[in-house]
Amino acid sequence: MPDLPDPAQPAFILVRPQMGENIGAAARAMLNFSLRKMRLVDPRDGWPNPKAVAMASGAAGQVLDFAGVYDSVAEAVADCDYVFATTARGRELPKPIFTPEAAMVEARKRIVAGQKVGILFGPERTGLENDDIIRANAIITVPVNPEFFSLNLAQAVLLTAYEYSRHTLEAVPVDPGLAGHDPASAIEVEKLGDHFEQRLEEAGFFHPPEKAPMMKRNLRNMWTRFAMTRSEVQTLHGALRQILRGRD
């Protein structure tokens, strides 16, 4: 079955995957970042695989529905203009070596220019062989712990898909609000500052007098930098009142 038509995506090519569960998990990882072009090279347990469908869990099944199945890496990459191989091996082969982030920046540039990009992922137990890697133009190596550099197939797919999506999807702005709390308005923060200044004046805090303006500016800056909620402002007002009552 041909790939789902979408020229603006790289093809994620799973080479000789051994377990249907890992294929399904990879499909889920891809769809997490709106990627759907999966290709399978000689899956060990044949295709289709019911365990892959079960692991894909619902919507991610569409990735499997359109997955292309090939007998060899050469066939799977035949229409690609540029191919990356994800591996911690193959450094004896003279190829450019990218981090996942740098590789996906390069992939995005090439796809925007109209090229087709493929990314090879090796089998779970052994990874890609050199005969697979020679089909690639460049290598992707994850800078992980050198004493434990093995990544699960779905983890490698997830990491690569995330890096690609970072350079293609519009970033969602961070919600400046706090869960369950309204932010304090500027006037509420201003009144809190007035209250503190009043109490500190009464306590003789602003000394010597020539330093008072700078000390007050520092306090005002501190209140605005805190980005407080209304409840926090009210708590501080209450604390000041209680301190005053206790002193009296």
Which whole-number Å values give the CA distances from 16 to 10, 55, 57, 246, in the listed order? 19, 18, 22, 75
On average, the pLDDT of the chain sits at: 83
Alpha carbon distance 203, 197 (integer Å): 10
Backbone φ and ψ of 82, nearest 5°: -150, 135
Q: How far apart are CA 118 and CA 84, in angstroms?
A: 6
**Same domain for 58 and 87?**
yes
Average pLDDT over residues 132-137: 89
Residues 190, 159, single domain; the answer is: no
Residues 58, 160, single domain; the answer is: yes
- State whether 234 and 138 are in the same domain: no
Asked if 41 contacts 148 with a C-beta cutoff of 8 angstroms, the reply is no
Q: Is pLDDT at 224 greater than 50 in this prediction?
A: yes
Q: Say whether both 144 and 202 belong to one domain.
A: no
pLDDT of 92:
67
Residue 3 lies in a domain: no
Boundary-marking domain end, from 111, 132, 166: 166
Residue 176 in domain: no
202 located within any domain:
yes
pTM greater than the 0.85 cutoff: no
Task: Residue 14: name the closest of 166, 91, 143, 29 by CA.
Answer: 29
Long-range Cβ contacts of 220-224 (<8 Å, 24+ apart) = 220/193, 223/189, 223/192, 223/193, 223/196, 224/189
Tell me, yes or no, whether 137 and 59 share the same domain: yes
What's the domain range around 208? 186-244
Count structural domains, the chain. Answer: 2
Strand ranges inside 26-185, DSSP E: 38-41, 68-70, 82-86, 97-98, 117-121, 138-140
Q: Over the stretch 136-168, which tens digit does the pLDDT of each residue have?
A: 998 998 877 766 667 788 899 999 999 998 876
Given a cut of 90, is residue 214 above it in pLDDT? no
Q: Are residues 224 and 111 in the same domain?
A: no
Please give the span between the terminal C-alpha atoms of the chain, in angstroms, as a whole number: 83
Q: Are residues 127 and 209 in the same domain?
A: no
Same domain, 157 and 229: no
Q: Does residue 1 belong to any structural domain of this protein?
A: no
pLDDT of the residue at 64: 84
Nearest-angstrom CA–CA distance, 11 and 97: 19
d(Cα 132, Cα 7) in Å, to the nearest integer?
Answer: 24
- Whether residue 38 is contained in a domain is answered as yes
Considering the domain architecture, whether residues 129 and 21 belong to the same structural domain is answered as: yes
What distance in Å separates the CA atoms of residue 118 and residue 78, rounded to the nearest whole number? 10
Q: Tell me, yes or no, whether 228 lies in a domain.
A: yes
Q: In sequence order, what E strands does the chain have?
A: 11-15, 38-41, 68-70, 82-86, 97-98, 117-121, 138-140
Is the CB of residue 167 less than 8 Å from the CB of residue 105? yes
Residues 55 and 150 in one domain: yes
Indicate which CATH number applies to the domain containing 105. Answer: 3.40.1280.10
User: Does residue 43 fall inside a structural domain?
Assistant: yes
Whether 121 is in a domain gets the answer yes
Tell which residue, 86, 121, 133, has the closest CA to residue 16. 121
Per-residue pLDDT tens over the stretch 76-111: 998 898 999 998 765 567 788 999 999 999 999 999
How high is the pLDDT of residue 148?
67
Residues 150 and 58 both lie in one domain: yes
Helices 100-112 + 153-166 axis angle, to 10 = 60
Lowest mean pLDDT among 3-7, 29-33, 137-141: 3-7
